[in-house]
């Protein structure tokens, strides 16, 4: 596993000496919350929680650090919250999809982003977002050129997610025929839909997500690696997998695609609200730098089969600033390529009526329905009612008769109504 030292800002010197004592006084006894703007089960969640678990030991005063998912609109809900509502004191941070800093650029005035990316205080990133496009082994798609011949159904969470945006971009700039189905609540639900045969692959999925959670997909050849995203080849991805930008011949289309691919270089960015004091930003940057260099985190990352090759906050800020300085005609071409083709189909749920057979750890349910047993997860966005009243997950008990809408076998429940 390749490890690169986290470049420290010159301003980090502010956290030394008197600055360190001030930071310790501030953070001692405090709670720091890292809001992960994606659902559970994906690489963004994995990386966000990995850093959060170790951050408290590397901040002055050793505050308690919690990671919470704050989802919606492909990550924009969480980012909007950090920019507009989070306290500007370094106690609430965001951890997002790589596409989030570029949402205003990609969508222009139609963007639902309520923030100026250049005004966020970028803290850093654990590694670049290394992404590949895959097809499930039962699909007729066996190489990237097949995407120009056959309509390929793929799943996504929302309009702002990388899977949706990249699908539109690749259709318009590369002539692919992706059909994007939106509305899956998490990355794991998108994977399950592919495994069940509801979809045929993923436009964009994290290489770290495959190697950490699904290494059998590679060893057992359950997926075909079609191409790699980004501006440069990543050494961990097999050399036989082409870098798709190398296949673009039209200069303008290539420039637009390069602008889109720049988003992958920011990886899994961590950020604080605008207005956060400079010395607090420097403290957080150093804290995350030390976190990503710690033996404990690196050992956990190795066990999880993910690489850590950190980017400094200054590096992330520079990538974002450079992208927004791109020529206007290139920006406009990219925005046109991102534009949705029309109303998109939404992921469908399955409705069952049955008796809860077992309530297991991490919100997993087994429900007797008909002649079989259905398995599902209860997530934070699952709406639960018991006897017509809103209820928490902990209120679900074995023996309850329930009507349930859920996203297929093993997927997240959307609605649960029990008696």
Residue whose pair of structure tokens reads 């990671």 in the numeric block:
67
Reported as a single tens digit per residue, the pLDDT across 221-264 is 999 999 999 888 888 899 999 999 999 999 999 999 999 998 88
- Determine phi and psi for 390, rounding to 5 degrees: -60, 145
Instruction: For residue 196, give Cα distances in angstroms to 41, 127, 192, 352.
Output: 17, 31, 6, 18
Whether residue 282 is predicted with pLDDT greater than 60 in this model: the reply is yes
Strand order in the sheet with 31-36: 64-69, 31-36, 92-95, 270-272, 121-125, 311-312
Report whether 61 contacts 25 (CB < 8 A): yes
Instruction: For residue 259, give Cα distances in angstroms to 107, 125, 347.
Output: 13, 19, 30
pTM: 0.74
390: β partners: 385
Whether residue 16 is predicted with pLDDT greater than 50 in this model: the reply is no
Whether residue 20 is predicted with pLDDT greater than 80 in this model: the reply is no
Mean pLDDT lowest among 1-5, 100-104, 195-199, 410-414: 1-5
Reported as a single tens digit per residue, the pLDDT across 400-410 is 999 999 999 99
Alpha carbon distance 82, 273 (integer Å): 6
Report whether 226 contacts 133 (CB < 8 A): yes
Confidence of residue 38 (pLDDT cuts 50, 70, 90): confident
Reported as a single tens digit per residue, the pLDDT across 105-157 is 988 888 889 999 999 999 999 999 889 999 999 999 999 999 999 999 999 98
Per-residue confidence (pLDDT) for residue 7, from 0 to 100: 44
Structure tokens at 42: 């994906």
Residues 355-365 have a mean pLDDT of: 94
Angle made by CA atoms 307, 98, 201, in degrees to the nearest 5: 80
The DSSP letter of residue 198 is S
Report the share of the chain in percent with pLDDT over 70. Answer: 95
- At what angle are helices 278-293 and 43-55 packed, to 10 degrees? 100
Per-residue confidence (pLDDT) for residue 158, from 0 to 100: 84
Whether residue 362 is predicted with pLDDT greater than 90 in this model: the reply is no
369: β partners: 372
Residue 33: burial class (beta carbons within 10 Å; 0-12, 13-18, 19+): middle
152-155 and 178-181 strand pairing: parallel
- The answer for residues whose C-beta is within 8 angstroms of residue 230's C-beta and 6 or more apart is 128, 129, 130, 131, 243, 245, 261, 264, 265
Per-residue confidence (pLDDT) for residue 21, from 0 to 100: 63
Instruction: For residue 133, give Cα distances in angstroms to 38, 121, 126, 185, 269.
Output: 19, 31, 22, 20, 21
Whether residue 19 is predicted with pLDDT greater than 80 in this model: the reply is no
Reported as a single tens digit per residue, the pLDDT across 58-89 is 999 999 999 999 988 878 999 999 999 999 99
Residues 178-193 have a mean pLDDT of: 94
Per-residue confidence (pLDDT) for residue 208, from 0 to 100: 81
- Determine phi and psi for 394, rounding to 5 degrees: -65, -15
Alpha carbon distance 381, 375 (integer Å): 17
- The answer for residues whose C-beta is within 8 angstroms of residue 313's C-beta and 6 or more apart is 9, 121, 122, 123, 124, 281, 285, 288
Instruction: Report which of 174, 175, 176, 194 is spatially closest to residue 184, judged by C-alpha positions.
Output: 194
Report whether 266 contacts 125 (CB < 8 A): yes
Instruction: Give SS3 for 330.
Output: helix
Whether residue 11 is predicted with pLDDT greater than 90 in this model: the reply is no
Structure tokens at 212: 């950490």
- Average predicted confidence (pLDDT) for the chain: 91
């Amino acid at each position: 596993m390749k490890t690169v030292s986290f470049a420290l800002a010159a301003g980090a010197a502010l956290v030394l000496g008197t600055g360190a004592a001030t930071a310790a006084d501030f953070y001692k006894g405090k709670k720091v919350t890292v809001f992960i703007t994606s659902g559970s089960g994906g690489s963004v969640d994995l990386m966000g929680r990995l850093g959060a678990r170790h951050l408290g030991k590397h901040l002055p005063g050793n505050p308690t650090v919690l990671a919470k998912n704050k989802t919606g609109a492909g990550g924009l809900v969480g980012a909007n919250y950090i920019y507009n509502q989070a306290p500007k004191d370094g106690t609430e941070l965001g951890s997002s999809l790589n596409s989030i800093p570029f949402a205003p650029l990609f969508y222009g005035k139609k963007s639902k982003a309520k923030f100026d990316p250049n005004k966020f205080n970028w803290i850093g990133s654990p590694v670049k977002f290394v992404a590949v496009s895959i097809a499930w082994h039962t699909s007729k798609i066996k190489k990237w050129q097949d995407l120009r011949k056959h309509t390929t159904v793929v799943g996504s969470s929302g309009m702002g997610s990388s899977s949706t945006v990249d699908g539109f971009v690749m259709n318009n700039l590369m002539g692919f025929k992706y059909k994007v189905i939106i509305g899956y609540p998490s990355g794991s639900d998108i994977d399950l839909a592919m495994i069940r045969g509801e979809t045929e692959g993923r436009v964009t999925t994290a290489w770290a997500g495959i190697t950490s959670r699904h290494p059998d997909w590679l060893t057992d050849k359950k997926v075909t690696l079609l191409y790699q995203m980004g501006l440069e080849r990543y050494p961990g991805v097999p050399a036989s997998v082409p870098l798709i930008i190398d296949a673009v011949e039209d200069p303008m289309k290539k420039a637009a695609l390069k602008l889109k691919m720049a988003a992958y270089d920011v990886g899994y960015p961590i950020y604080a609200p605008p207005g956060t004091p400079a010395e607090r930003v420097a403290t957080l940057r150093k804290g995350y730098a030390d976190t990503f260099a710690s033996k404990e985190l690196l050992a956990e990352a190795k066990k999880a089969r993910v690489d850590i090759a950190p980017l400094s906050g200054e590096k992330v800020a520079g990538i974002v600033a450079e992208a927004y300085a791109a020529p206007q005609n290139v920006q406009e071409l990219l925005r046109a390529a991102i534009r949705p083709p029309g109303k998109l189909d939404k992921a469908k749920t399955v409705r069952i009526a049955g008796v809860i057979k077992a309530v297991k750890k991490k919100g997993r349910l087994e429900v007797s329905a008909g002649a079989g047993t259905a398995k599902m997860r209860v997530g934070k966005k699952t709406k639960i009612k018991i006897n017509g009243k809103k209820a928490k997950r902990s209120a679900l008990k074995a023996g309850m008769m329930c009507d349930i809408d859920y996203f297929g076998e093993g997927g997240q429940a959307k609605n649960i109504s029990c008696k």
